[in-house]
Structure 1
C-alpha cells in the first residue's frame, strides 16, 4: 500500500514517467491506479501493457450472470477500453477469448488496435481451454476460427508473437527481423518454413497441437535459437533437419518424427523425448532413437518416455550409446516393469557422469516387439555396476512410489551398489486415501530399515 506522502511524491512526476511506472505493473494493477485521483484515471489509459483475458475479467462479474451475457460484456468492455486509449505505442497486447464465432468483427477491431500502436509483444489466444482432441479441432477449423486482418501482416516491430487458434498465413508476415519468440498452437502451419528465414534473431520456437506443419528445416539463418519445443503435432514433411549451434532446450512430445540434428551446441541444458502412448514397433526405430540421443549427448538433464525405453533395446549395441552422455540428471518415465529393464540399464549405462537418477512412474501401453529373454525376478541383483554407481550418483528419486515388488527390488539393489549415494527421496501419489498412504509409509519404513547401503551417510525420505 502506498502511503500518502509517497503517493504525493510520485504524483509530482511527469506523465511520461508515470506511464513508464504503470507499464511495469500488470494490466490489472495498472487499472487499479485509476482510483487514486482524476489524473491517475487518465494515466492508466496510456499503459504500454494491455491484457484482455476473458477468464480473468469475467470472474469479476456476478455469478448469476449467464456465460453468453458475460462474453458479450467482456467484448463490450475491451472495445470501450481501446476506444478510450490515449497513449501511443503499446509494448504488449494480449487478447484471450475462446470460441470467437459471432464476434469476428470485434476481434479484428482489437487486432487492428494492436497493429496501430506498433505492438512489440502480441499474444492472440482464441483456443478453448476444454480442447483435448487435435483432430476434432482440425475438422472444424475453417468454420470456427477467425482470419488475421491485413493490419496484422503489416507489423514490422514484433519481438514476441504467440498465436493460438488463428487462421494465419506465415508466408505473408511482412518483416520478422526483430522476432525473438514464436509460439503457435491449435492451427495449421503449412508455410512455417517461409517465416523462419525472416527471423534471424529467433531464440525460442514452440509449436503445440498444430497440424500440417511444413517445417522441413531450421538452418544456420536461425543460429541464435536456444529453445525448441514440439508437442502433439502432425508434420506435413517426412523429416526435419535442424541446425542447432546455440540450442539449450529441446523438447519433443508426440508421434515419432524423423529429425536430423547438425552442429548441436556442446553445452545443452535440457532434452525431453516423449512419444506418448505409442505401441506400434517398427524395425530400425531403436537405432533411430540412439542416433537422436547421440546428437544430444551434451544435455545436462535428459527425460525419456516408456516407448523409447522399450524400443531402444532393439539396437545393434544393446548395452549403451556409442558416445558417453554428459547428462548429470536422468529422468526415466517408466512403468518399471520387466519389458523396460533392458532399456533402463541401457540409459543408465550411457550416462557415466550421472548425479541424479529419477524414476517417474507412469501407466503406459506395452510395445508389441520381440524382447531378449531375461530373469525378471533376479535382473537387478547382478551385473549392474555401471560407472556412475561407483563414482557420481548421489541422489535417487522415485515419483508415484507405491512400494510394489519391482520398485522395491530395484531400490534394494541400487542402494546396495551405489557407493556415493546421499539421498533417496520417495514421493507418494497425490490424493490417496489414508489407508493406502499408511501402507506406502510402511513400505518406505521397510526400505529405510532393512535395505543395506554401500554409502555411509545415506538418508531415505518419503514425501
Structure 2
C-alpha cells in the first residue's frame, strides 16, 4: 500500500489532471479529499462543469425511504473551489452540504434541484433574489423549513416542485406570475397562490402522507382548486377523491 502511494506522489500534476479529466464528475470531486496536491482540481472541474454549464451530484442512499419522516445528514461537503464556476446554469445537489453564502455566486442558474438536505427559508429567499434567471426549482425531502415562500420581484420561475419536504408551520405561499407547472407531495399545508391564470398549465397534487381527514381539510382543498382555476391539466391523488 505504501509503495502504491509513493508511486502516486511521483506523478506529475499534468498526468494527474489528465486522469481526473477521464473520471465521472462525482468521482472527480471525491478525489479532493485525497491530498493537498489536488489543489489544481479546480482546473479539471472547470473542464467538466463547463460542459453545458451543468453540475449534478447525488450522494443520497437508495435505501432511504421517501415516504417517511426520517431526516438524513448530508454525506458529502461540496468543495469550495466549485463555487468559482459562476457560469453554471443547472445544479442538482442531493445529500451534499454547501455554505449558503457561497452558493449566491451562481447568479446564472436557471435550474436548481435540492434533495435530502437541511435548508432554511432565508436561503430559499436569497436564492430567488440572487438568481434572476431561475426558471425551475425542485425540493425533495428537504427539512427545517419554517414554511415555503416562493416570491420575489420579476420572478421568472416557471416550474416548482416540493416533494415530501418537512415544513414547521405547514404553509406554502407562492407568488409566481410566470409559473406553468406545480407539483406537491406530502401532507396538506395551507396554500396561498398568486399566479397568472393564462400561464398556469399543469399541477400534480399528492397527499399520500395525510393520515387523517376532517372537514377543514375539505375546505382547504376546495380553496386550493379555486386558486389554481382554470388550470389546463390537473393530476390528483386518491385521497382528494375520497374527500
How many Å separate the matches in 2 of 1:111 and 1:260?
A: 45
Residues 239 and 111 from structure 1, CA distance in 2 versus in 1: closer, same or farther, beyond 3 angstroms?
A: farther
In the alignment, structure 1 residue 261 sits paired with structure 2 residue 189: no
Match of 1:153 among 64, 83, 90: 83
Superposition deviation, residue 164 in structure 1: 0.7
Write out the 4+ residue segments of structure 1 that deviate beyond 6 Å after TM superposition: none
Cα shift readout 1:257-277 (whole Å, capped 9, x = no counterpart): 222111334232211110014
SS at match of 2:162: strand
1:356-395 mapped onto 2 (5 Å cutoff): none
Residues 86 and 189 from structure 1, CA distance in 2 versus in 1: closer, same or farther, beyond 3 angstroms?
A: closer
Residues 81 and 164 from structure 1, CA distance in 2 versus in 1: closer, same or farther, beyond 3 angstroms?
A: farther
Cα shift readout 1:397-448 (whole Å, capped 9, x = no counterpart): xxxxxxxxxxxxxxxxxxxxxxxxxxxxxxxxxxxxxxxxxxxxxxxxxxxx
Query: What's 1:308 paired with?
Result: 240
Q: Would the aligned equivalents of 2:197 and 2:231 in 1 still touch at CA under 8 Å?
A: no
SS at match of 1:287: helix
Match of 1:121 among 54, 61, 64: 54
Residues 149 and 258 from structure 1, CA distance in 2 versus in 1: closer, same or farther, beyond 3 angstroms?
A: same
Residues 238 and 255 from structure 1, CA distance in 2 versus in 1: closer, same or farther, beyond 3 angstroms?
A: closer
Superposition deviation, residue 224 in structure 1: 1.4
Query: What's 1:284 paired with?
Result: 216
Q: Would the aligned equivalents of 2:179 and 2:195 in 1 still touch at CA under 8 Å?
A: no
1:25-104 mapped onto 2 (5 Å cutoff): 83-84=17-18, 94-95=25-26
SS at match of 2:91: strand
Residues 222 and 122 from structure 1, CA distance in 2 versus in 1: closer, same or farther, beyond 3 angstroms?
A: farther
**Larger C-alpha radius of gyration, 1 or 2?**
1
How many Å separate the matches in 2 of 1:181 and 1:204?
A: 5
SS at match of 2:129: helix
In the alignment, structure 1 residue 223 sits paired with structure 2 residue 159: no
Give TM-score scaled by structure 2 length. Answer: 0.76
Q: Name the one with the larger strand percent.
A: 2
SS at match of 2:114: strand
Higher relative contact order (CA 8 A, sep 6+): 2
Tell me, which stretches of 5 or more residues in structure 2 are unaligned?
1-13
Query: What's 1:184 paired with?
Result: 114
1:312-323 mapped onto 2 (5 Å cutoff): none
Cα shift readout 1:14-62 (whole Å, capped 9, x = no counterpart): xxxxxxxxxxxxxxxxxxxxxxxxxxxxxxxxxxxxxxxxxxxxxxxxx
SS at match of 1:230: strand
Superposition deviation, residue 81 in structure 1: 8.9
Tell me how many residue pairs correspond in the alignment: 220
Query: What's 1:130 paired with?
Result: 63
1:194-343 mapped onto 2 (5 Å cutoff): 194-214=126-146, 216-221=148-153, 223-311=155-243
Give TM-score scaled by structure 1 length. Answer: 0.42
Superposition deviation, residue 85 in structure 1: 6.7
In the alignment, structure 1 residue 105 sits paired with structure 2 residue 33: yes
Match of 1:162 among 67, 87, 92: 92
Q: CA RMSD in A?
A: 3.3
How many Å separate the matches in 1 of 2:138 and 2:114?
A: 6
SS at match of 1:220: coil
Q: Would the aligned equivalents of 2:60 and 2:95 in 1 still touch at CA under 8 Å?
A: yes
